[in-house]
C-alpha cells in the first residue's frame, strides 16, 4: 500500500467569504447543503425585505461550503458551476482551495467521505447538544490524505466516473418511479374511457360506503402486552412496520387490529395521500383510532385496486375538501367522507387484472431500485479506496 503524506485541511483551504449586504428591494436565490455529502440544493428566491439576515454569503465556483449547524453529519460540499453566484446565510462559511496543493474536485470528493463526516462528528461529542455548531477553525483542523496533484487527478477521474453513473441511474430511477405512479393511477381509473364506455364494460358509479364497511377490530389494551404496530407512508407508498406499542406505555385504552385485504388510511395525513391496503405480512398488527380500516365486499371491491386508485393527488384534495376547517393543512378526513366518496368502480375481475398489471410494473421498478442501491454502494467503496487505503 502506498504511503502518502497527510495534511490539515487548513493547509489547502482558507476562509474565503464574499459577504453581501442584504438590500430590501433585491431578490436573492438561496441554497442549502444536504447532509451526508449529498451536495447543494436550491432553496428558492428570498426577498431582502423578508429576510432576517443583514448579510448573505455569495458562493463561488470551486469553493468548499459548510453548514455550521449540520457539518457534524456531513453537510459540507464543493460549489459546482451552476451554484456560482447563489447565496447562503452566514451559517455557511466558504473556503477557497489552494490550487498549488489540491484540486477542488479532489477536496469535493473527500468531503463526501463518511469517515470524514465521523471526524466532524467527533468535534461535537460530549458537548451536550446534538446540533452543536462546527466552526471554520475546527473544519480546518481535520486531516486529509494529500497525494501529488497528478495522483489527485487520477482519483478524481475514477470517482467522477462512478458518481456520474450513479447519478444517471438515480435520475432514471426517479423518472421511472414517477411514471409507474402515474401508470398505477391511470390503470386503476382509466381516464381514457368515457362514462358510456365504462357503463358498457360493467363499471358502476358508487359511493364507497356501498362496497365496504368500517371494520370491527377493537382490542382492549392490556398493560402487560406488546402490540405489533404499522404506519402508512404518504403519497400512496403503502404501509410500513413501526415499533411495537407497549401496553404499559400507551395512553390508548383500545387499539384496532387490522386484517389482510382491508383498506386503511391515516385521518391525519390523508391530505398527502396516506391511503393503503393491508398486505398479508401485516395481518394482525395494531393501529390507533387515527387509522380507520374498512372491510371490502369481496364480490365488489379489491382493496389493492382502491389503494392504487387513491394514489392520485386530485382525490386527496377532493376528500380534504369534504372536511371542515380547511384553513388547517392537516385537517383530518373523517370516515363519513370516505364512505360517501363517489367513484367509478370496475367489475371485480377487471380490478384484479388491473392490480396484476400494476404489480408487474412495480416489480420492475423495485428491481431498478435494488440495482440503484447496489450501484450507490460502489461510491462508498471507491471513496474508501481513494482515501482510507491511502496510508
Instruction: Tell the burial category of 314 from Cβ atoms under 10 Å away from its Cβ (0-12, 13-18, 19+).
Output: exposed
155/386 Cα distance (integer angstroms): 6
Same domain, 43 and 140: yes
Residue 215 lies in a domain: yes
C-alpha cell at 286: 395494531
Residue 10's region, left for phi above 0, alpha for psi from -120 to 50, else beta, is: alpha
**Residue 55 within a domain:** yes
Residue 11 has pLDDT above 80, yes or no: yes
Residue 161 counted as domain residue: no
Residue 180 resides in a domain: no
Residue 153, domain member (yes or no): no
Q: Which of 125, 145, 165 is the last residue of a domain?
A: 145
Q: Is residue 252 part of a domain?
A: yes
Out of 107, 128, 145, a domain closes at: 145
Residue 269's domain spans which residues?
204-345
Q: Does residue 208 sit in the same domain as residue 339?
A: yes
Q: Is 320 inside a domain boundary?
A: yes
Residues 208 and 334 reside in one and the same domain: yes
Look-up: residue for cell 382491508? 262
Asked whether residue 208 falls in the same domain as residue 119, the answer is: no
Rg (CA), the chain: 27
Beta bridge partner(s), residue 76:
66
Q: What is the CATH number of the domain that holds 98?
A: 3.90.220.20
Which residue shows C-alpha cell 410500513? Answer: 240
Are residues 239 and 329 part of one domain? yes
224 & 338 share domain: yes
Q: Tell me the per-residue pLDDT of 303-323, one tens digit each, with 9 for 90 and over.
A: 999 999 999 999 999 998 755
Contact 265, 307 (CB under 8 A): no
Answer whether residue 92 is part of any domain.
Answer: yes
The per-residue pLDDT for range 262-304, each reduced to its tens digit, is 999 999 999 999 999 999 999 999 999 999 999 999 999 999 9
Residue 36 and residue 120 share a domain: yes
Query: What are the distances in angstroms from CA 387 to CA 73, 109, 122, 332?
Result: 18, 10, 18, 51
pLDDT tens, residue by residue, 27-75: 999 999 999 898 999 998 899 998 899 999 999 999 999 999 999 989 9
Looking at the structure of the chain, the number of domains it has is: 2
Please tell me whether residues 17 and 134 are part of one structural domain: yes
CA distance 84 to 282: 49
For residues 25 and 106, membership in a common domain is answered with: yes
pLDDT in tens, 136-173: 999 999 999 999 999 999 999 989 888 887 777 667 66
Per-residue pLDDT, averaged over 7-20, amounts to 96
Amino acid at each position: 500500500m502506498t504511503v502518502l503524506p497527510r495534511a490539515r485541511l487548513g493547509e489547502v483551504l482558507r476562509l474565503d467569504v464574499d459577504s453581501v449586504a442584504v438590500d430590501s428591494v433585491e431578490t436573492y436565490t438561496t441554497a442549502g447543503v444536504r447532509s451526508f455529502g449529498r451536495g447543494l440544493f436550491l432553496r428558492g428566491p428570498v426577498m431582502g425585505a423578508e429576510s432576517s439576515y443583514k448579510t448573505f454569503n455569495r458562493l463561488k465556483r470551486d469553493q468548499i461550503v459548510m453548514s455550521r449547524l449540520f457539518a457534524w453529519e456531513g453537510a459540507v460540499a464543493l460549489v459546482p458551476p451552476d451554484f456560482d453566484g447563489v447565496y447562503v446565510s452566514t451559517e455557511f462559511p466558504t473556503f477557497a482551495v489552494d490550487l498549488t496543493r489540491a484540486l477542488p474536485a479532489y477536496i469535493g470528493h473527500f468531503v463526501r467521505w463518511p469517515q470524514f463526516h465521523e471526524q466532524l462528528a467527533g468535534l461535537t461529542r460530549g458537548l451536550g447538544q446534538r446540533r452543536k455548531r462546527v466552526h471554520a477553525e475546527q473544519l480546518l483542523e481535520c486531516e486529509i490524505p494529500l497525494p501529488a496533484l497528478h495522483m489527485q487527478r487520477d482519483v478524481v477521474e475514477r470517482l467522477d466516473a462512478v458518481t456520474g453513473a450513479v447519478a444517471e441511474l438515480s435520475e432514471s430511477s426517479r423518472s421511472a418511479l414517477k411514471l409507474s405512479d402515474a401508470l398505477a393511477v391511470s390503470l386503476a381509473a382509466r381516464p381514457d374511457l368515457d362514462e358510456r364506455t365504462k357503463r358498457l364494460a360493467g363499471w358502476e358509479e358508487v359511493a364507497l360506503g356501498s362496497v365496504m364497511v368500517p371494520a370491527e377490530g377493537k382490542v382492549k389494551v392490556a398493560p402487560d402486552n406488546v402490540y405489533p404496530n404499522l404506519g402508512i407512508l404518504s403519497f400512496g407508498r403503502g404501509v410500513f412496520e413501526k415499533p411495537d406499542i407497549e401496553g404499559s406505555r400507551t395512553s390508548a385504552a383500545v387499539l384496532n387490529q387490522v386484517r389482510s385485504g382491508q383498506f386503511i388510511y391515516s385521518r391525519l395525513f390523508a391530505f398527502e395521500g396516506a391511503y393503503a391496503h393491508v398486505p398479508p405480512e401485516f395481518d394482525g398488527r395494531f393501529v390507533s383510532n387515527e387509522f380507520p380500516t374498512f372491510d371490502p365486499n369481496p364480490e365488489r371491491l379489491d382493496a389493492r385496486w382502491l389503494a392504487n386508485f387513491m394514489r392520485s393527488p386530485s382525490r386527496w384534495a377532493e376528500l380534504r375538501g369534504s372536511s371542515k376547517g380547511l384553513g388547517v393543512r392537516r385537517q383530518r378526513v373523517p370516515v363519513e367522507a370516505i364512505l360517501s366518496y363517489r367513484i367509478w368502480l370496475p367489475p371485480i375481475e377487471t380490478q384484479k387484472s388491473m392490480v396484476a398489471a400494476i404489480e408487474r410494473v412495480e416489480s420492475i421498478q423495485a428491481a431498478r431500485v435494488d440495482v440503484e442501491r447496489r450501484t450507490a454502494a460502489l461510491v462508498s467503496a471507491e471513496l474508501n479506496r481513494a482515501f482510507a487505503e491511502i496510508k
